């Protein structure tokens, strides 16, 4: 534990490393990693009517509605495991979500420490996303080139031997996700910058080097 509460948002283009860095940080400071993408994918798996609607949106790289996402996040951060803080990954993703988050945090007496933007150019993004896969059992992420399991075909973390690739990780969908990022999510960057909350980290170096920079930004000494 860190000995203080920490509330942090990871933002940035698809594939910039939000999930990778959030997972590393959560292991160091033991606070939950709340990925709205993962929450939505879990809903899709249940095949509920809402899940089927979401599947149509996510498979094409389009966003879920602000109302739904805001409601999901508001309920999730009320759960007991969030009492010492949390890492939000992929939320807020639009200006209305950013404004709703600020309002929600004020009502719940939560202090936002930082919004960390992981900056990676588009040409790197495509290679990162198209090479990504994850362990079916524990969700640990890997990459064909940048992050291979120590033993071929065996998850380092849980020993699982089944892996999957995300349906939205294809070239066409990634192009659309990038278009949506620029149009809808990027405008939240100046919004947080104006409030003195934005910390931009260069995401083009190695996973370990990016993690070190994030630790420095958050004042984590590990
Ligand atoms: P989400 O799951 O959040 O997808 P995303 O934003 O497109 O981001 P990714 O998960 O693809 O990438 P990442 O930044 O986590 O990168 P990763 O660490 O895996 O959302 C999915 C969908 O859900 C959205 O498109 C939308 O439809 C919906 N949604 C979610 N939130 C929403 C919201 N708030 N509102 C509305 N709709 C919402 O890294 C990628 C790969 O690169 C990995 O293989 C990794 O190993 C590798 N890698 C990472 N860092 C490095 C490095 N430094 N060097 C080399 N390789 C690296
Ligand atoms: Mg992710």
CB 114 within 8 A of CB 199: yes
What would the pLDDT profile of 39-65 be if each residue is shown by its tens digit?
999 999 999 999 999 999 999 999 999
Catalytic residue, chosen from 55, 76, 166, 212, is 166
Q: For residue 128, indicate whether it is catalytic.
A: no
Q: What is the mean pLDDT of the chain?
A: 96
* Pocket residue to mutate for ligand 1, from 13, 14, 92, 184, most atoms within 8 A of Cβ: 14
Catalytic residue, chosen from 93, 128, 199, 213, is 93
Fold of 6-121+185-218: Rossmann fold (3.40.50)
Q: How far is the CA of 216 from the centre of ligand 1 (A)?
A: 22
Judge whether residue 107 has pLDDT over 70: yes
What would the pLDDT profile of 194-214 be if each residue is shown by its tens digit?
999 999 999 999 999 999 999
Distance from C-alpha of 25 to C-alpha of 184, rounded to nearest angstrom: 26
Length of the chain: 222
Q: How far is the CA of 80 from the centre of ligand 1 (A)?
A: 26
Q: For residue 23, indicate whether it is catalytic.
A: no
* pTM, two decimal places: 0.95
SS3 196: coil
Residue ranges of domains in the chain: 6-121+185-218
> Which residues are in the CB-under-5-Å shell of ion ligand 2?
19
pLDDT at 204: 97
């Amino acid at each position: 534990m860190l000995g203080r509460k920490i509330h942090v948002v990871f933002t940035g283009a698809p594939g910039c490393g939000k999930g990778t860095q959030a997972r590393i940080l959560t292991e160091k400071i033991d606070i939950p990693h709340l990925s709205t993408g993962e929450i939505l994918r879990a809903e899709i798996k249940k095949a509920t009517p809402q899940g089927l609607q979401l599947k149509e949106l996510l498979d094409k790289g389009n966003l879920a509605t602000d109302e739904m996402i805001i409601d999901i996040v508001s309920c999730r951060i009320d759960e007991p495991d969030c009492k010492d803080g949390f890492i939000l990954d992929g939320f807020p993703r639009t200006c209305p979500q950013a404004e709703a988050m600020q309002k929600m945090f004020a009502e719940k007496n939560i202090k936002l420490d930082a919004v960390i933007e992981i900056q990676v150019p588009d040409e790197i993004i495509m290679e990162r996303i198209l090479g990504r896969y994850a362990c079916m059992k524990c969700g640990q992420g890997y990459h064909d080139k940048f992050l291979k399991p120590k033993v071929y075909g065996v998850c380092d973390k849980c020993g699982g031997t089944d892996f999957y690739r995300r349906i939205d990780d294809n070239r066409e969908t990634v192009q659309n996700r990038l278009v949506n990022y620029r149009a809808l999510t990027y405008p939240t960057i100046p919004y947080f910058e104006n409030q003195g909350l934005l910390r931009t980290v260069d995401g083009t170096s190695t996973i370990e080097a990016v993690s070190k920079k994030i630790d420095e930004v958050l004042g984590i000494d590990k």
